[in-house]
Amino acid sequence: MKKRASSKANEVSRRGFIKATAAAGMAAVLGGQERLFAAGSDKIRVGLIGCGGQGTRDTISCLQSATGVELVAMGDLFRDRVDESLKKLKGEEISGKVKVTPEKCFVGFDAYKKVIASDVDMVLIVTPPHFHPQQVKAAIEAGKHVFMEKPGAVDPAGVRTLIAASELAEQKKLSIVAGTQRRHEAHYIEIMKRIGRGDIGEIVGGQVYWNGGDMVGYWTYYEKGGMSDMEWQCRNWPWFTWLGGDHIVEQHVHNVDIMHWAMGSHPVQVMGMGGRAVRKEGNIFDHFAIEYEFANGVRILGMCRQINGCHTRVGERFVGTKGVADGRGKIEGQNAYVYPGESPDPYVQEQADLIASIRQGKPINEGRNVAESTMSAIMGRMSAYTGRALKWDWAMNASKLDYTPPSYDFDIDFPARPVPVPGKTQLI
């Protein structure tokens, strides 16, 4: 990325970027009622890839979001996940839209291929993040529209695959909507529009946070027992870096994505730290603090923690020359503002926006956005794991970090990687 000529030029570029993205987002929020149906039909056939709790919730949101939407195929690594999800879906108010037959329930590492081949118009990809790039790629190559949960990947190799898939989607006029639902929340859209037009002046710094409690209790943690290495890690995917990316990537990416949106660009350098103060499960850290440096010299702090009993802070704050913006709907300073009222449910809204884009023939492509936000989160993790600072261009173009296992097979010998040690773990 070239260094910008001046702070004024940077401000013009940033404002233009945010105005464009905010306008697109607001159009999606306000324009979802107009429908132009392709091929004379309003029926949208959906396949679910990844039938855990989040996949089930996203499916409910999708089926709630519009009329004429049906779930016709499901796939997961595990049979019990498919069965539990299908049972829950059939007990919901949207049960009449669940048209899945036993023949359209697939299990195993190749289940995603079978869902994609099941005469669907779009797929919901809600698998462990490691699998997102290859599954998005397969769906786009097959001509399917995609909803993909965040994050986009767990390593630079996956980010590059996702960006290539996003570019192919652009060529094929296919939609990709990501689970970074803040981009579909009306109060975030309004605040970004106001940042873009200069209501807080030029951004000079900021903070983005996801400091919350531990995952144990929210996610089930499975003791290994008689499970193979691969099955045990896949069932416990949030606690293993190769599958979930660590919580800075899997969870804090929401806030990092808002940082990208507000700044209108990605950072050029990252330096971070982190560790395991109390966590015992898996091989991930339980806290991170990351400094993101942008081309114009602005530095923004990213902080995330998963430790019970600590102070909770989740949100974003941007300091400008004229005021301070809270991404959740507030500006203090010369142009003070508080967003009035409530935003529509963003989990339903993101699905409504995707369905509307398909019916109107006006694709939405959030692939590169989520890929770049994911890369910033990955870089923060890489820096904290190794104790090294690193540059965007190196991570995007030269890093060889790729967590792909030797094969996707429950029976292979695949012991968990050791917990990273800053100063000893190598930067790859």
Mean pLDDT of 87-114: 98
The model's confidence at residue 138, banded by pLDDT at 50, 70 and 90, is very high
Torsion angle defined by CA atoms of residues 398, 305, 369 and 56, in that order, rounded to the nearest 10 degrees: 120
**d(C-alpha 14, C-alpha 6), whole Å:** 12
Residue 25, CA distances (Å) to 187, 327, 354, 367, 368 in order? 11, 15, 12, 15, 15
The rounded Cα 277 to chain-centroid distance in angstroms is 26
323, 334 contact by CB (below 8 A) = yes
Q: Which is nearest to 422 in space by CA: 396, 372, 383?
A: 383
Alpha carbons 184 and 116: distance in angstroms, whole number:
26
pLDDT, tens digit, for every residue of 252-273? 999 999 999 999 999 999 999 9
Over residues 236-245, the mean pLDDT reads 98
CA distance linking residue 381 with residue 363, whole number of Å: 32
What separation, in Å, do the N-terminal and C-terminal C-alpha atoms of the chain show? 21
Both tokens assigned to 178? 């990501």
By residue count, the chain amounts to 428
What is the reported pLDDT for 315?
97
Residue 31: predicted pLDDT: 41
* Cβ–Cβ < 8 Å for 155, 378: yes
Lowest mean pLDDT among 4-8, 190-194, 406-410, 421-425: 4-8
Q: Give the CA distances from residue 231 to residues 223, 237, 411, 412, in Å, rounded to whole numbers and listed in that order.
A: 11, 10, 8, 10
pLDDT, averaged across the chain? 92
Sign of CA dihedral 289, 205, 374, 199: positive
Site of tokens 């979001």: 65
Say what the pLDDT of residue 92 is: 97
pLDDT of the residue at 295:
98
Sheet of 176-178, strand order: 105-107, 69-76, 44-49, 122-125, 145-148, 176-178
Instruction: Give the tens place of pLDDT for each residue, 314-337.
Output: 999 999 999 999 998 999 999 999
Q: Are 80 and 98 in contact (CB under 8 A)?
A: no
In this predicted structure, what is the pLDDT of residue 42? 85
The pTM of the full predicted model, rounded to 2 decimals, is: 0.91
What's the burial of 361, exposed, middle or buried (CB within 10 Å: 0-12/13-18/19+)? exposed
State the average pLDDT over residues 221-227: 95
Segment 103-126 shows an average pLDDT of 98
Candidates 268, 265, 263, 282; CA nearest to 391 is 268
Q: Which domains does the chain have, with CATH numbers?
A: 7-182 (3.40.50.720), 199-341+370-397 (3.30.360.10)
**Bridge partners of residue 291, in order along the sequence:** 271, 301
Span 271-295, pLDDT tens digits = 999 999 999 999 999 999 999 999 9
Contact 227, 80 (CB under 8 A): no
pLDDT at 219: 87
Provide mean pLDDT across the span 413-426.
97
Where does 214-354 show beta strands of DSSP type E?
269-275, 287-293, 299-306, 313-320, 323-326, 330-333, 337-338
Conformation bin of residue 286: beta by default, left when phi > 0, alpha when psi is -120 to 50: alpha
Q: What is the pLDDT of residues 184-199, one digit of tens each?
A: 999 999 999 999 999 9
The fraction of the chain above a pLDDT of 70, given in percent, is 90
User: At residue 379, does pLDDT exceed 70?
Assistant: yes
**What per-residue confidence (pLDDT) applies to 380?**
99
pLDDT at residue 8 greater than cutoff 80: no
Other C-beta atoms lying within 10 Å of the C-beta of residue 11: 19
pLDDT reading at 298 higher than 50: yes
Closest to 207 measured CA to CA, from 114, 316, 124: 316
Instruction: Find the range with the poorest average confidence among 21-30, 48-57, 106-115, 296-305.
Output: 21-30
Q: Give tens-digit pLDDT for 25-70.
A: 444 444 433 334 444 458 999 999 999 999 999 999 999 999 999 9
Q: Which token pair is 51?
A: 């039938």
Predicted local distance difference test score (pLDDT) of residue 217: 78
pLDDT of residue 10: 43
Q: What is the pLDDT of residue 41?
A: 57
What is the pLDDT, as a whole number, of residue 11?
Answer: 44
pLDDT in tens, 359-376: 999 999 999 999 999 999
